[in-house]
Amino acid sequence: MATVATADTVQAARRRFFVEGASPEGLVAAPILRSWQRCSSHGLDVGERPRVEPMSLTALREEQERYEILRRITRPEMTALRQEARLTDSVVILTDGDGLVLEMMGDTEFAGRASRVALRPGVDWSETAIGTNAIGTALVERRAIGVHGAEHFFEPHRILTCAAAPIFNPRGQLAGVLDMSGHASVRHVHALGLVRLAVEQIEHRLFERGFETCAILRFHEEADLVGTAREAILVFDGDRLVAGNKRGLSLLKLDWSALDKARLGEILEAVEPSADLRPIRGPDGQILHGRLTPPTQTGPRAVRTTARLPAADTIEPVFDTATLAALDRAIRLVDADVPVLVHGETGAGKEVFARRVHAGSARRAAPFVAVNCAALPESLIESELFGYEEGAFTGARRQGQPGLVRQADRGILFLDEIGDMPLAAQGRLLRVLQERQVRPLGGGAPVPVDFALLCATHRPLAALVEGGSFRQDLYFRIAQYVVELPALRDLADRRGAITRLWSGLGGDAIGVDLGGETLDLLAAHDWPGNFRQLAGLLRAMIALAEPGRPLPVSALPDEIRSRSLPAVRSASPPAEEPMRDGSLSALTLEAMARAVEESGGNVSRAAKKLGIDRSTLYRRLIWRGSGPETRQPARSRAS
């Protein structure tokens, strides 16, 4: 039974959850409680204001253009809801599948008040950014939801009452969210029902295009509802199920995982194409009413999604067997409070590896706090990491700030690109690791902290220690176990990795095959940016691909297409050649090692001096050692 929360019960729930640290079950609806728990695990502080970074007008226009199809499809429902919104001093909002507000219409006076809490176009209203709210929570829960007043995570948002429903495309992907929001003093009891009804109409209209070469089954338990927005829909390419709506899948006891797997004859008894309604026997013997319309066109299937492709930075790399074994070891080490250093080139998946460690560890329910040491200005890194007291420096926020280290309490602190951390901050970090307490800038009592430490870098820390730019005592503290992530070019099965990444991006869903010479060219490329670079290119290829047809070589960029196909290199290091004095290999490595030494261990500076790419220099030193006197791979030394 759903929990009906009053203002008093919500306040009691907030006090129990946020002040006493107890579970307020029964005082608020289960989805609200789950959202509060997620927000706390994300490291959001209920005592602070949410950090909002609105897009520039130029960037917002670009996003709106990217989602023009979604905006056009939803416009009739938004226009209809706008009149209702004006009558109830509310606004109607459309977001993309990540919670970014694309459009807002309705009562202009309330829109002005909503903008004071950043409820306006160009702002990310996902749960991780804004805390509990109808838009972000509907995306996570994948269901329609209302959030009223103090049920919102952050205090400033208690002026709002919001009702939102996610929009699913025919492939079960989140295309966006439709929301109605108003002032909490006027609770609009019909808002959630209106939003649900509008989304049902939108999702129904998504089947009007893109399926001309497919057979479409429209059915329902009640014959009068076939042909309306309430009907169940399943789409078949031949006899293979390729799309459907929630009602269609539910009536036949299926879910989205059945797409591309289930066959018409497996889920229903013989159904013949017909313009008339016919009885259909369901999986439990129930009688349904429906019609199966044959394809209106012949040719390749053209199924397109209205959702934006995932960003290249969010796409997970394909880890090989050795890396997955290293992941299992890293989880055990972190649970035993042993610091782990992850070493690998840019784009090889260091942060993804760290997040998987967190997800598999005993600290999975606590925060994962990621800090990019290279992105923080040197003047701010100490205050961001260790926090500060009120008045610690000019511009310091009132009441100070706890700092990222304290936010990771009970969880995992991930220091990415730690090789770029300034020496002064290295000293303070070492003290925190030794004493297990942090003292904020500007004085104040030290605060105990409990976190597991994961660090990552693409730089050879051992060489930096020798050059004096990284503390040796800190190196020994953080590198008690080192994991080496292989570069993409070093994987034994590069073709398989590329194919799996293509499938994960949705290339298979639109029926585009990566085969033959195209795949050979992709597998033979060096990919200095590793998985991040590859994912970015594959995203572009999916946008350019013709559904149902193989991806031609001509679609590839010139830098990949113009190269001849060399023999694909083995993932293993090349066999050691005799290192005779005066040989080309020996002289080359001597020059490389000398350049690194003269550059104080800075590989980028040494590569510039030699006139070669940094990744080439680094790869040679890893495979051969830092000089001719070294016979084993230098991977352990450069970590």
pLDDT digit string, tens, across residues 550-587: 788 888 888 887 754 444 333 333 433 333 344 334 55
pLDDT tens by residue, 184-240: 887 777 899 999 999 999 999 889 877 888 999 999 999 999 989 999 999 998 889
Question: For the purposes of burial, counting CB atoms within 10 Å of the CB of 405, is it exposed (0-12), middle (13-18) or buried (19 or more)?
Answer: buried
Residue 4: pLDDT band with limits 50, 70, 90: low
Residue 138: pLDDT band with limits 50, 70, 90: very high
pLDDT at position 472: 94
pLDDT (average), residues 616-631: 44
pLDDT at position 275: 81
Question: For the purposes of burial, counting CB atoms within 10 Å of the CB of 100, is it exposed (0-12), middle (13-18) or buried (19 or more)?
Answer: buried
pLDDT of 307 strictly over 70: no
pLDDT at position 444: 67
**CATH superfamily label, 321-484:** P-loop containing nucleotide triphosphate hydrolases (3.40.50.300)
Q: Which residues contact 262 (CB under 8 A, 6 or more apart)?
A: 240, 241, 254
Alpha-carbon distances, residue 296 vs 207, 210, 213, 301 (angstroms): 13, 11, 6, 11
pLDDT at position 603: 64
Nearest-angstrom CA–CA distance, 326 and 486:
11
Residues 222 and 198 sit within 8 Å (Cβ to Cβ):
no
Residues 525 and 536 sit within 8 Å (Cβ to Cβ):
no
Give phi and psi for 439, each to the nearest 5: -110, 120
pLDDT at position 613: 56
pLDDT at position 612: 62
Candidates 198, 118, 200; CA nearest to 159 is 118
pLDDT of 411 strictly over 60: yes
pLDDT (average), residues 540-557: 80
Alpha-carbon distances, residue 398 vs 380, 393, 482 (angstroms): 17, 11, 41
pLDDT (average), residues 280-289: 85
Nearest-angstrom CA–CA distance, 290 and 277:
5
pLDDT at position 154: 93
pLDDT of 386 strictly over 70: yes
pLDDT at position 354: 93
- Higher local confidence (pLDDT), 509 or 137: 137
pLDDT at position 585: 46
pLDDT at position 588: 60
Share of the chain above pLDDT 90, in %: 36
AA identity, residue 170: P
Residue 115: pLDDT band with limits 50, 70, 90: confident
Instruction: Return the ∠ at Cα 257 (arms to 256 and 259), rounded to 5°.
Output: 75
Share of the chain above pLDDT 70, in %: 80
Residues 417 and 457 sit within 8 Å (Cβ to Cβ):
yes
pTM score of the predicted model: 0.51
pLDDT (average), residues 144-162: 93
pLDDT (average), residues 131-146: 95
pLDDT (average), residues 296-323: 62
Residue 254: pLDDT band with limits 50, 70, 90: very high
pLDDT (average), residues 111-126: 86
The fold for domain 57-193 equals: Beta-Lactamase (3.30.450)
Alpha-carbon distances, residue 408 vs 50, 110, 279, 358, 430 (angstroms): 18, 38, 59, 12, 16
Residue 345: pLDDT band with limits 50, 70, 90: very high
What mean pLDDT, rounded, does the chain reach?
A: 81
Q: Which long-range contacts (CB under 8 A, 24 or more apart) does 550-557 make?
A: 550/512, 550/513, 550/514, 550/515, 550/516, 550/518, 551/507, 551/512, 551/513, 551/514, 551/518, 552/518, 553/517, 553/518, 553/521, 555/518, 556/518, 556/521, 556/522
pLDDT of 387 strictly over 60: yes
Q: Which of 84-88, 436-440, 622-626 has the lowest mean pLDDT?
A: 622-626
Q: Which of 412-426, 450-464, 510-524 has the lowest mean pLDDT?
A: 510-524
pLDDT at position 570: 36
Q: Which of 123-137, 358-372, 381-395, 578-592 has the lowest mean pLDDT?
A: 578-592
pLDDT (average), residues 49-68: 81
pLDDT at position 5: 65
- The tokens describing 273, both together, are 């194409």
Residue 26: pLDDT band with limits 50, 70, 90: confident
- Higher local confidence (pLDDT), 474 or 298: 474
pLDDT of 443 strictly over 90: no
pLDDT of 474 strictly over 50: yes
- The tokens describing 29, both together, are 């609806």
Nearest-angstrom CA–CA distance, 522 and 514:
10
pLDDT at position 584: 39
Tell me where in the chain the CATH 1.10.8.60 domain(s) lie.
Answer: 493-561
- Higher local confidence (pLDDT), 281 or 305: 281
pLDDT of 151 strictly over 80: yes
Radius of gyration of the chain (CA): 28
Residue 553: its H or E element: none
Alpha-carbon distances, residue 598 vs 72, 284, 595 (angstroms): 61, 77, 5
β-strand partners of 148? 161
- The tokens describing 121, both together, are 């176009």
Tell me where in the chain the CATH 3.30.450.40 domain(s) lie.
Answer: 57-193
Residue 290: pLDDT band with limits 50, 70, 90: very high
pLDDT of 546 strictly over 80: no
pLDDT (average), residues 139-147: 95
pLDDT at position 532: 87
pLDDT of 441 strictly over 70: no
Residue 252: its H or E element: none
pLDDT at position 589: 66
* Sign of torsion over alpha carbons 628, 632, 634, 636: negative
Q: Which of 127-131, 193-197, 422-426 has the lowest mean pLDDT?
A: 422-426
Residue 635: pLDDT band with limits 50, 70, 90: very low
Q: Does domain 573-639 have CATH number 1.10.10?
A: yes
pLDDT of 482 strictly over 90: yes
- The tokens describing 122, both together, are 């160009």
Tell me where in the chain the CATH 3.40.50.300 domain(s) lie.
Answer: 321-484
Q: Could you tell me whether strands 145-148 and 160-168 are parallel, antiparallel, or unpaired per DSSP bridges?
A: antiparallel
pLDDT of 42 strictly over 90: no
pLDDT at position 152: 94
- Higher local confidence (pLDDT), 586 or 485: 485
- Higher local confidence (pLDDT), 378 or 531: 531
pLDDT of 79 strictly over 80: yes
pLDDT at position 637: 31
In CATH, what number does 493-561 get? 1.10.8.60
